[in-house]
Amino acid sequence: MDADWEARAEAYITGVFAADSSGHDVWHSIRVYRTAMSICSEEKGADPVIVGAAALLHDVDDRKLGGDPAGQPKARYFLLKVHATEEETEAVLRAISEVPFKASGTVVPSSLEGKIVQDADRLDAIGAIGIARAFAYGGAHKRPMYDPFAKYSGDPTEEEYLRGSPDTISHFRQKLLKLKGMMNTEAGKRIAEHRHEVLESFLEEFADEWEGKFRT
């Protein structure tokens, strides 16, 4: 890949994600990139170029943004522009294709690089930022933040998951609280531990405030 591929990838994704307010802005990809590079430095045998490129490009063909995840045209276009070899292109595209969370349709990535990027992507869905993203997404999709009468399945099929939870608090049970137990790497498991606690204490505070209880 050309030596300046990272700066060009950041510029490229800034254009692709311009004006997104559903939690998929360019900063999500940049955070995933930073977290993935930290995890990568602890994982022997992972190729940092594949991890970095897959992290920065992991959402450019996302179906939620009207992309084509099967053909991956945007990721392919960018890799061609920075002169990625055939081997690099294949490794990056494969890692990206295995990242998404699809409830029962989720896969464990076949490569170490894919496992690292999947962990980094999931870590951005938990903790303080994960909470903010969930409500940003819920608002963008016109869902109530909480509906006490909402019927949801805590264990949705892939199809039910894609249809979306009726309210954002349900999404915590459908996805966010499960992520800690789904980490692939040791570093991912360690980082998830604290971010999971942040989710749990947030849910406790939310429930108390909803009931009109307060802490002093």
- Interface contacts to Ni ion, rule CB under 5 A: 59, 121
**Residue 19, both tokens:** 């004006």
Residue nearer to Ni ion on the CB measure, 113 or 121: 121
Q: How far is the CB of 207 from Ni ion (least distance, A)?
A: 28
- Tell me which of Ni ion, ligand ADP, none is bound by residue 165, counting a contact when its beta carbon lies within the kind-specific cut-off of 5 to 8 angstroms: ligand ADP
> What SS3 state is found at 47?
coil
Q: How far is the CB of 119 from ligand ADP (least distance, A)?
A: 11
Residue nearer to ligand ADP on the CB measure, 97 or 168: 168
Binding site for ligand ADP (CB under 6 A): 23-24, 59, 62, 64, 100-101, 121, 125, 130, 133-134, 137-138, 164-165, 168, 171, 175-176
**Residue 1, both tokens:** 């890949």
**Residue 49, both tokens:** 């170029």
CA distance 108 to 89: 20
Asked whether 136 and 21 are in contact (CB, 8 A), the reply is yes
Q: Which residue is nearest to Ni ion (CB)?
A: 121
CA dihedral 119, 125, 129, 132 (to 10 degrees): 170
- Tell me which of Ni ion, ligand ADP, none is bound by residue 137, counting a contact when its beta carbon lies within the kind-specific cut-off of 5 to 8 angstroms: ligand ADP
Q: How far is the CB of 149 from ligand ADP (least distance, A)?
A: 17
CA distance 148 to 215: 22
